[in-house]
Chains A and B, each alone.
Chain A
Amino acid sequence: MPVEMITGSQAAATAVQRAGVDLVVAYPITPQTAIVETLAEYWARGELGGEYVNAESEYASLAYCSGAASAGARTFTATSSHGLAYMHEMIHWCAGARHPIVLANVNRAMGAPWCLEPDQIDSLSQRDTGWIQLYCANAQEVFDTILQAFALAESVLLPCMVVFDGFYVSHTYEAVDIPPRDTVARFLGPSCFAAQVDPGRPANLHGLIGAEAQSRLVLSRHRAMERVWETLREINDRFAALFGRSYPAVEGVACEGAKTLLVTAGSCAETIKSVLPALDGTGLLRLKAVRPFPARELRTRVEASGAETVIVVDRNCSPGLGGILAQEVKAALYGAAAAPPVQNLILAGGVDLTPWMLKRILDGSLFTGGGGPDREVWGVDLA
């Protein structure tokens, strides 16, 4: 297969082109813009296959996608940070309408004040909306996950957010295997989910309903999320057979017999992997899926490892509670046999995880200041 040196953003755009998308809607925002710019170039060369339009805002971008998805179109848009926040009403709406839209979100901090750094708070703030959220650690995974996201979203009829860190993934050039379009087509055929808008059978969509009906719909979305696990396994099996790569909901590295397990999502996992060989007794659990949250899988893995400590690396923070992934991990481990204490390294603001920082966390020199078993360390305290 042809290998190209491209950025995470270019990998995302190339995957969208290979996926045979029907509609791309664009609105610029740093650090996402290169995705829609690359797709514009495909379109201008007549190589996109589908349509490409520019919107007047991020909100409008997702509304255009919603309209097109109502007609059965495979749609894509990309955004970041304030753009995603501005979409918030439409983010809920598209999940409720069961539109299998794929959206790439490039992580960036939220203002005020203005900050471009890769904090994950933008996408994690949207975790209760009913979108599948898949986090990527490198450019190859971005490419592969976009393809898988279309298959997954259209299978369970939920929108899917493909998330990766600004700059560390979006702007870094890496070698990416790019299968040709006909090979991709063997994995992902044309969209075949039913159009909601059918001129032959006119209907009023999304009108007013009562609490009981709304409750049933929310529950149906929750159950659709439950179907993600089996569907994702099937998709990974087919993907691995064609391309030799797969991305389980939780990726484990050196977990067996590890005394300490590091847990994170996104490109921090790449740094951890690069240091693991030098760290005896330390393993990594990387959360690929954050919604649905792989609680059962995570608990099983932690129990099987026999680890004494779990350290969650969060490039985000929910003020008043702490790192968001740490809270989710604690909830997942509640009631587990001999659940280990969960400590939290908080890199809110998009602070870089360095090997030096990891070593100090693991040798305990940062956790000597007392406190209970569930301790927090803020990245800014490490300087």
Chain B
Amino acid sequence: MVRVEHLNQTFLRTKKLPHIWCPGCGNGIVTAALVRAVERAGFAQRDVVIVSGIGCSSRAAGYLNFNTLHATHGRALAFATGLKLSQPQLKIFVIMGDGDCSAIGGNHFIHAARRNIDLNAVIINNYIYGMTGGQHSPLTPAGRKSTTAPAGTLERPFELLELARGAGATFGARGSAAQPRQLEQLIVQGARHKGFAVIEALSPCPTYYGRKNRQGGPVEMLRALKDSSVSVEGASGLDPAELSEKLVTGVIYVKDAPEYTEQYYRSTGKEPG
């Protein structure tokens, strides 16, 4: 017996639905995981802010019934930094896509990580710029095709979580639309973590990435995501050759370090607000 659990409707702008995402897109699954995570973490609706950039992922802000801010391309983290500094009590989730976060947004991404500011960056990685019709991003695997690389891209992708770790992020986790319960838990853990938390959420784009690269339909793409996933614990028993074929999911790293907003107010002796 499958237990049907409805999303908290008060956290959704139901008048804005149905959403614009394509059939088979994973963005709705990731967004639903975020909604459940906010509820599970017990945050008050008025204390939650969603900041998004530009692209398919960033449309999520329009459907979520919190304070939401649809910012410029790649700059969501910079907007969120200003917001967090002025209102440190807010729980801020920054929803970005792979193109949004790691191309134009790359600079803001590493600096948010360097400061270890208490923001929750949820990057929906579908390996493609979807909104503009399927161009490869800095997270597209080398050799994969896109409309701006019809013969396959030559470029090497970022390893996003390692980039963040190298820049100073103190929480890094990876989940996927194929395992939404795990993803929900990871978002909760990231939200409870004090510091810059990066959650990479792999998500299928059957319309562009899947079609260009013959990945099959939504079901095949979700199944492939699930089949290639291995937990951090499971990965520890694999040799490097086996591991290179896998998507390691779970909390990849977590550590303590001073958080920027706290440091700022301590150094100035001022009270927020």
Which residues of A are in contact with B by a Cβ distance under 8 Å? 26-30, 33-34, 36-37, 40-41, 43-44, 54, 56-58, 82, 86, 111, 113-114
Rounded to whole Å, the gap between the CB of A167 and the closest CB of chain B is 14
B97-155: which have CB < 8 Å to A?
103-104, 106, 129, 131-133, 135-136, 138, 147-151, 153, 155
Nearest CB in chain B to that of A38: its residue: B147
| Chain B hits for A33, CB < 8 A | 132-133, 135, 147
**B73 near A: Cβ within 8 Å?**
yes
Chain B: interface residue total (CB-CB under 8 A): 22
Q: How far is the CA of A170 from the CA of B104 in the complex (A)?
A: 25
Closest A residue to B55 using CB positions: A28
**Bound complex: CA of A26 vs CA of B135, how far in Å?**
10
Where the two chains meet, the residues of B that have a C-beta atom closer than 8 Å to any C-beta of A are: 54, 70, 72-74, 103-104, 106, 129, 131-133, 135-136, 138, 147-151, 153, 155
The CA-CA distance from A304 to B191 in the complex, in Å, is: 71
Output the least CB separation between B63 and chain A (Å): 15
How near does chain B come to A13, taking the closest CB pair, in angstroms?
A: 12
A317 and B103 CA atoms in complex are apart in Å by 31
Closest to B73 in A: A82
Instruction: Establish whether residues B132 and A29, one from each chain, have CB atoms under 8 Å apart when the complex forms.
Output: yes
Point out the residues of chain B lying under 8 angstroms from A111, CB to CB.
72
Inter-chain contacts of B106 with A (CB < 8 A): 56
* Contact across chains for B148 and A57 when beta carbons are under 8 A apart: no
Contact B148 A26 (CB under 8 A): yes
A28–B104 touching, CB < 8 Å: no
Work out how many contacts link A and B, with CB atoms closer than 8 A.
52
Which of these, A54, A86, A114, contacts B153 with CB under 8 Å?
A54
CA distance A86 to B70 in the complex (A): 18
State the CA gap A57–B129 with chains docked (Å).
13
Chain B min CB distance to A139 (Å): 20
The answer to whether B104 and A86 have CB atoms under 8 Å apart is yes
Q: Are A54 and B148 in contact (CB under 8 A)?
A: yes
B148 contacts A56, CB within 8 Å? no
**Separation in Å of the B140 CB from the closest CB of chain A?**
10
Which chain B residue has the least Cβ–Cβ distance from A56? B103
Q: Would you mind naming 30 contact pairs between A and B with Cβ atoms under 8 Å apart?
A: A26-B135, A26-B148, A27-B103, A28-B129, A28-B132, A28-B133, A28-B135, A29-B132, A30-B131, A30-B132, A36-B148, A37-B133, A37-B148, A40-B147, A40-B149, A44-B150, A44-B151, A54-B136, A54-B148, A54-B155, A56-B103, A56-B104, A56-B138, A57-B103, A58-B104, A82-B72, A86-B73, A86-B104, A113-B70, A114-B54
A34 neighbours in B (Cβ, 8 Å):
133
Q: Compute how far the CA of A41 lies from the CA of B149 in the bound complex, rounded to whole angstroms.
A: 8
Are B148 and A28 interface neighbours, CB within 8 A?
Answer: yes
In whole angstroms, what is the CA distance A111 to B153 when docked?
31
